[in-house]
């Protein structure tokens, strides 16, 4: 007796629907480009990423619903045109764009674009000790924004050293937490 794998079945349905919708949009874009090809400048080809990305953005809302990863394709095309030194990989299963490039380019892009929104997606950058700078474009609703509660040592360090971060302040917080200074009386 064969076991039916629901997960694989749902995954295949998702892939097929995405391919079908993407191909409809791509066919429409090809028709539009063929229609306007006589009006394009000499330096603009039919395969121009910026032109195709702009058309995807204009046409996309008519064909795609908000759960589709199509919006990610248009965002990635737009960002690739604006930032040729970076690579924008669409990760459809996780519904995000992974940004690839040199660490310095990622740091520059992340600091410039942190918090920028593209529809319902937002650029999110973080520095990981093991993997270096990580920059992604994810749904804004998936970003966890928690206000961290400051402990007594942190509040005391803010009073003594001010709210600006410094090495002296960080060291004082560590010493306080070890009980070496600012002990409770």
- 122 and 66 share one domain: yes
- 45 and 19 share one domain: yes
Distance linking the first and last C-alpha atoms of the chain:
73
Enter the tokens of residue 160.
């003594």
pLDDT of residue 7: 66
Count other Cβ atoms within 10 Å, centred on residue 122: 19
pLDDT of residue 25: 73
21-38 pLDDT, tens digit each: 567 777 777 777 777 777
Is residue 68 predicted with pLDDT exceeding 50?
A: no
Count other Cβ atoms within 10 Å, centred on residue 169: 17
- What Å distances lie between residue 150 and 153, 164, 170, 173, CA to CA? 8, 14, 13, 11
Q: DSSP per residue over 105-127, as a string?
A: HHHHHHHHHTT-EETTEEEEEEE
pTM of the model: 0.42
pLDDT of residue 15: 61
- 133 and 104 share one domain: yes
Distance CA 177, CA 174 (A): 5
- 117 and 153 share one domain: no
- 20 and 99 share one domain: yes
Is residue 174 predicted with pLDDT exceeding 80?
A: yes
> Number of folded domains in the chain?
2
97-132 pLDDT, tens digit each: 899 999 999 989 988 888 888 778 888 888 877 788
Is residue 40 predicted with pLDDT exceeding 80?
A: no
> Could you tell me if residue 74 is inside a domain?
yes
- 107 and 154 share one domain: no
Residue 78 CA, distance from chain mean position:
13
Length of the chain: 185
Distance CA 111, CA 107 (A): 6
């Amino acid at each position: 007796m064969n076991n039916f794998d629901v997960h694989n079945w749902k995954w295949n349905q998702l892939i097929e629907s995405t391919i079908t919708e993407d191909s409809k949009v791509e066919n429409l874009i090809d028709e539009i480009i063929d229609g306007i090809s006589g009006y394009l400048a000499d330096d603009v080809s039919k395969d121009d990423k910026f032109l195709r990305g702009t058309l995807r953005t204009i046409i996309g809302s008519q064909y795609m619903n908000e759960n589709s990863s199509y919006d990610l394709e248009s965002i990635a095309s737009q960002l690739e045109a604006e930032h040729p030194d970076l690579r924008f990989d669409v990760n459809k299963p996780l519904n995000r764009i992974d940004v690839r490039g040199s660490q310095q380019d990622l740091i520059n892009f992340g600091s410039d674009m942190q918090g920028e929104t593209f529809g319902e997606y937002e650029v999110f950058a973080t520095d990981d000790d093991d993997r270096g700078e990580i920059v992604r474009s994810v749904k804004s609703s998936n970003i966890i924004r928690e206000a961290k509660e400051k402990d007594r040592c942190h509040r005391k360090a803010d009073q003594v050293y001010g709210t600006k971060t410094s090495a002296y302040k960080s060291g004082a917080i560590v010493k306080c937490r070890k009980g070496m200074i600012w002990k409770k009386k």
